[in-house]
Structure 1
Amino acid sequence: MARFSRSDFTLEGFRRQLAHVDALPQLCVLGLVSGIITGAAMVAFRLLLEAGAVFYMPDGNPEGFEGLPPWLRSLLPIIAVSVLGLLLYRQKATAQKMGVGHVIERLSYHQGRFPMRNWLNQWWVGVVSVLGGLSAGREGPAIHLGAAASSGLGVKLRLPNNSLRVLVACGTAAGISASFNTPVAGVIFAMEVVMMEYTLMSFMPVILASTMAALIAQMVYGNEPAFRIPEVVLGSLMNLPWVIVLGLVVGLLAGLFIHISRNKRMQAWPLWLRLACVGVATGVVAWWFPQVQGIGYDSVAAALNNQLDINVLLALMIAKLLITALTVSGGVPIGIIGPTLVIGAATGALGGILGGWLWPDKASDPGIYAMLGMAAMMGAVLQAPLAALMALLELTHTPHVMLPGMLVVVVACLTSRQLTGCEGFFISSVRYGLHPLQQPLMQALSRVSVPAVMERSLVRTERKVTFEQARKLLETNPVWLIIERSNEEKSVLALKASALARWLLEHDEALDGDAPPDNESVDLLEIPGQRLELAPIGLQATLSEAFIKLQDDALGALYVVHGYRPKRQRISGIITRGAIERYYYYSDPNTDADPNTRTDPKANDSPV
């Protein structure tokens, strides 16, 4: 039975426990807190949208563009891009990054730490984009706001970086959950799209965060499904070939959307020209088809209930796809999941209508095809089939659609990946090819922080010491001697304590019982032994950060710095390549009560 000490219940003890790979109770606590923070932030964001809509939208509805006069709804996108251009693009390029792509980038290359300016910008940019009539969703801001707020909690508490990764996933799942009332889809999205891995240690905290965020959102907005649809079934199995055709069409549309979004030629245009194109193109289409503006959930609901004309469905399938992709390519930071659901629903509804014309006796209701198209488009654009299926189930509360849903999502994902060469919108937006988060070694090493495997048995010393001082250094049986240099520009060195003990023994034997001269000292840089050149690394760093830093061939090991004031920092431990390799390749809990902190002197002699 595990024993707990008083130190385990302190903040420092909490940090120490989080450094290990098995800190499940501590991570679950963080998940609960993250869900509460993110749920409150999402409610605040939705209230901001509703408050802004009161001023000029019919009945204060953020989706009520159809009720505006044509000149006003066409003017709104031009005003929106003008505001974004004047306020946002006067800032540094790094401050303009927002949304899900920004979350993945910070998780991949910045240990899950977020700049405050980007987080503050995301609030007003999300409101301006949606209420300004651009084709934009609210899930991008929701994920960014939730992930950054959760990560900020960890940074404020100075938690190790491996726990920041989990907090980012918790904030992501909670943002999706509170925004769509889809707690399960939020969990799957966080693991499949953002974390790009499935592990028990991440799943449980993320589930708790998603649950808490959904509860907070339901306290304000109720527990109704996002879309009310009539009871429909697929009917005859003769519809399955048509479902496959729908998957092929949606997969091609998803590939077209991603390719336009990543258009290098347009991205090379001057900023004012890109923004002008986005504003004018959206305004022109909105004059005749206001359904392309905003998030478009009202249009999705109408498509699911067969309430849209064919010309409107065509506009949503073609014009909204092109407008949304143009907006992304133009550099406007918008959420794309909502628009992809609208595009998919319209495509599916058109496919259902066409199927009804071709096979009137066997074809299913167009509403069920709208549901299938919605899931297929989301899955193909994100290359996240499981998240799309869970979103389909939770958004519609229609479980019997899952069988054809699995078929259409897989076909659409394969078509988008294999025929159009798209690996997913957010992966391509960060880096083409293998993403850093998909590398198995780096995934495993990023789950643990350096305190879990560092060698703590060490003493600090100057280069030259007397014989008495040298013997005192060995009294506590350290493994390493950290040799501090007189000049800060010189590297700190590490020497095995066994090398000093061996040299003292040989020196005493050479003296044959005589006392050493009074003025004789021991130069720790001259005695035989392997000395490792060290570089500092923070106590919060993960093993993946240490591994990358040790790729420099000149470094033999890293010394772990503890403390936040430069002049009062202390060395808490040392970490070598051998320690990282032993953690990754083998760890037997039966050999030691705490395998992460065990010391193997023999292994420490391996080449580093």
Structure 2
Amino acid sequence: MAGVRPMATWQYSFRHVARVTGTSARWGIILIPMAACVGSLCALFLWLLDVITGFRFDHPAILLGLPFAGMAVAALYQHIGGRSEGGNNLIIDQIHEPGGGVPLRMAPLVLFGTVISHLFGASVGREGTAVQIGGSLASGFAQLFRLDTRSTRLLLTAGIAAGFGAVFGTPVAGAVFGLEVLTLGCLDYAALLPVAVASIVADWTCHAWGIRHTAYHVGFRGIPAADGSIFHVSALLLCKVSLAAICFGLASRLFAESTHRLSTAFRTFCPQAWLRPAIGGVLTILLVWITGTRDYLGLGVVSPDPAGVSIVNFFGSTHYYPWAWVLKLLFTVIVLACGYKGGEVTPLFFIGSGLGNALAPVLHVPADLLAGVGFVAVFAGAANTPLACTFMAVELFGAADVIYYAAGCFIAYLCSGHTGIYLSQRIGTPKTLLPQLKPGIRLRELPRS
């Protein structure tokens, strides 16, 4: 009998490996084409953004058409959008509680709407568009292959990861984001391999189309010790970064709460959804006139002026912009609250790196390092995705300063409270132990304090 047990164990192991291999092959047939389609659409989207941003730089008067462009897109959504209006929150809801699916028309609608927003100068991002493209195509593939509920949830999660990984060129962060964005404090490791495959394939596909992502340079690589060696972390510098991270977390909360509250106020003041973007467009034009600059329009990654306000310039050691982050927050909150299509993440990158740039001379911290920490930390707090943002920092800036990035993301996540840009997120493990924070409750169901 003693000789039977190893044989049975070997047979079980063989059957297990064969079953896993077969399942992986079947999933590969679905995941790889889906991710390739998402990566291709993200490549088209990023190429269009480059073209229209250059056009807007060359024709600044196009800003005057922003109110009318916003109304046209809102009217389009009102007539044919249907459930697509739910955006990222609809996808998250469908993963948690399937019912009705994600409409395939969401992908072309959000791509068109975001391109129009950027063409006319709305201060919106691109992550929302990429995630909605990924979720919409994933839902279409799930219907095509007649997947069951569990498999559909998994494919939708992979679609989120594919869109995020491709649009930012951060496949590992994209995979973790797809898992982490669904529930605060919980990860579904059953989806780990599918989201990784989807994110990597989508990023490869986007790259194969010739898309190149912006490079951000962080020159700081540690402080030399007395013997000339460089250790990877300084206790004093880590304390300063941690102090800044509290500010980053509060900025995350300010952004999310301002967007939700102002959106409610605009809906009360102007019940007609197609008319609200006109208000945001007019206010944007007034802000440009008051500030005397167009640097806060669009993504804000680069500026037509070499010394202008931009994310790239926040990483410089000679330029300091103390109030740029506040103005970008104002520009972005207004248009998002009025219904312009796009995303929040790139404006959050701007706000975070701008706040880091402003705090750097106050805390006597290298500007490029603190801009990098703020870049990911404000996003981590607003999206409740500290792990994904830490991986993003490594993929974008390198691993030399990972302790500072991790500290910034973790502290900002805790300090941002139980709010966020995605109100369909569920609470898995609360950040603080309060009676109203029951597992499974959505952020939108929490009382706003």
**TM-score bracket, shorter-length normalisation:** 0.7 to 0.9
Q: Secondary structure at the match of 2:209?
A: helix
Query: What is the TM-score normalised by the length of structure 1?
Result: 0.60
Report deviation, 1:36: 1.4
Report deviation, 1:76: 4.2
| Alpha carbons 1:104, 1:194 under 8 Å: kept | yes
| Alpha carbons 2:242, 2:411 under 8 Å: kept | yes
What CA deviation, in whole Å up to 9, does each residue of 1:240-267 have, x standing for no partner?
A: 2321221111111111111111113333
Q: Does 1:135 align with 2:123?
A: yes
Change (3 A) 1:234 1:38: same
CA distance in 2, matches of 1:79, 1:307: 39
Q: Residues 224-243 of structure 1 correspond to what in structure 2 (within 5 A)?
A: 226-235=214-223, 236-243=234-241
Q: Does 1:305 align with 2:335?
A: no
Partner of 2:71: 82
What CA deviation, in whole Å up to 9, does each residue of 1:496-542 have, x standing for no partner?
A: xxxxxxxxxxxxxxxxxxxxxxxxxxxxxxxxxxxxxxxxxxxxxxx
Change (3 A) 1:414 1:30: same
Partner of 2:49: 49
Partner of 1:294: 298
Change (3 A) 1:228 1:374: closer
Report deviation, 1:186: 0.3
Q: Residues 274-353 of structure 1 correspond to what in structure 2 (within 5 A)?
A: 274-287=276-289, 288-298=292-302, 299-306=310-317, 308-310=319-321, 313-315=322-324, 317-353=325-361
CA distance in 2, matches of 1:436, 1:28: 31
What CA deviation, in whole Å up to 9, does each residue of 1:218-276 have, x standing for no partner?
A: 21236x66323152135353222321221111111111111111113333221366323
Partner of 1:187: 175
Partner of 2:104: 116
CA distance in 1, matches of 2:279, 2:318: 31
CA distance in 1, matches of 2:347, 2:47: 21
Q: Residues 238-257 of structure 1 correspond to what in structure 2 (within 5 A)?
A: 238-257=236-255
Query: What is the TM-score normalised by the length of structure 2?
Result: 0.79
**Greater fraction of residues in helix:** 2
| Alpha carbons 1:75, 1:283 under 8 Å: kept | yes
**What letter matches 2:46 in structure 1?**
R
Change (3 A) 1:198 1:241: closer
Greater Cα radius of gyration, structure 1 or 2 = 1
CA distance in 2, matches of 1:318, 1:169: 33
CA distance in 2, matches of 1:257, 1:230: 26
Report deviation, 1:93: 5.6
| Alpha carbons 1:169, 1:195 under 8 Å: kept | no
State the structure with bigger RCO (CA 8 A, min sep 6), 1 or 2.
Answer: 2
What CA deviation, in whole Å up to 9, does each residue of 1:80-139 have, x standing for no partner?
A: 3232234333456634232x2221123233358212333332121121122221111111
Report deviation, 1:24: 4.4
Change (3 A) 1:102 1:30: same
Q: Residues 350-499 of structure 1 correspond to what in structure 2 (within 5 A)?
A: 350-355=358-363, 363-396=364-397, 398-417=398-417, 422-427=418-423, 436=440
Change (3 A) 1:123 1:172: same
Q: Secondary structure at the match of 1:425?
A: coil
What CA deviation, in whole Å up to 9, does each residue of 1:450-499 have, x standing for no partner?
A: xxxxxxxxxxxxxxxxxxxxxxxxxxxxxxxxxxxxxxxxxxxxxxxxxx
Q: Residues 12-31 of structure 1 correspond to what in structure 2 (within 5 A)?
A: 23-31=23-31
Change (3 A) 1:92 1:409: closer
CA distance in 2, matches of 1:430, 1:95: 21
| Alpha carbons 1:73, 1:283 under 8 Å: kept | no
CA distance in 1, matches of 2:437, 2:28: 33
Change (3 A) 1:329 1:429: farther
Partner of residue 206 from structure 1, selected from 170, 185, 195? 195
Q: Secondary structure at the match of 1:221?
A: coil
Change (3 A) 1:85 1:218: closer
What CA deviation, in whole Å up to 9, does each residue of 1:116-164 have, x standing for no partner?
A: 3333321211211222211111111111111211221120121222111
**What letter matches 2:254 in structure 1?**
L
Report deviation, 1:411: 1.7
Partner of residue 153 from structure 2, selected from 146, 165, 189? 165
Change (3 A) 1:437 1:181: farther
Structure 1: 5+ residue stretches without partners: 5-16, 356-362, 439-608
Report deviation, 1:434: 5.2
What CA deviation, in whole Å up to 9, does each residue of 1:284-313 have, x standing for no partner?
A: 233423221112222211211246452xx5
Q: Secondary structure at the match of 1:116?
A: coil
Q: Secondary structure at the match of 1:400?
A: coil
CA distance in 1, matches of 2:203, 2:99: 27
Sequence identity, in percent?
24
| Alpha carbons 1:112, 1:161 under 8 Å: kept | no
Structure 1 stretch displaced more, 36-45 or 196-205: 196-205
Change (3 A) 1:94 1:214: closer
Partner of 1:260: 258
| Alpha carbons 2:352, 2:371 under 8 Å: kept | yes
CA distance in 2, matches of 1:291, 1:321: 13
Partner of 1:106: 94
Report deviation, 1:429: 7.4
CA distance in 1, matches of 2:441, 2:37: 26
Structure 1 stretches of 4+ moved >6 Å: 429-432
What is the root-mean-square deviation of aligned Cα atoms in Å? Answer: 3.0
| Alpha carbons 1:134, 1:293 under 8 Å: kept | yes
**What letter matches 1:350 in structure 2?**
A
| Alpha carbons 2:125, 2:346 under 8 Å: kept | yes
**What letter matches 2:118 in structure 1?**
V
Partner of 1:494: none
Change (3 A) 1:258 1:291: same
What CA deviation, in whole Å up to 9, does each residue of 1:175-233 have, x standing for no partner?
A: 111111100000010000037653443111111111111111121236x6632315213
**What letter matches 2:422 in structure 1?**
F
| Alpha carbons 1:78, 1:280 under 8 Å: kept | yes
Change (3 A) 1:308 1:80: farther
**Greater fraction of residues in strand:** 1
Report deviation, 1:23: 4.1
CA distance in 1, matches of 2:114, 2:44: 12
Report deviation, 1:374: 0.9
Q: Secondary structure at the match of 1:97?
A: helix
| Alpha carbons 2:183, 2:426 under 8 Å: kept | no
Report deviation, 1:280: 1.6
**What letter matches 1:290 in structure 2?**
R
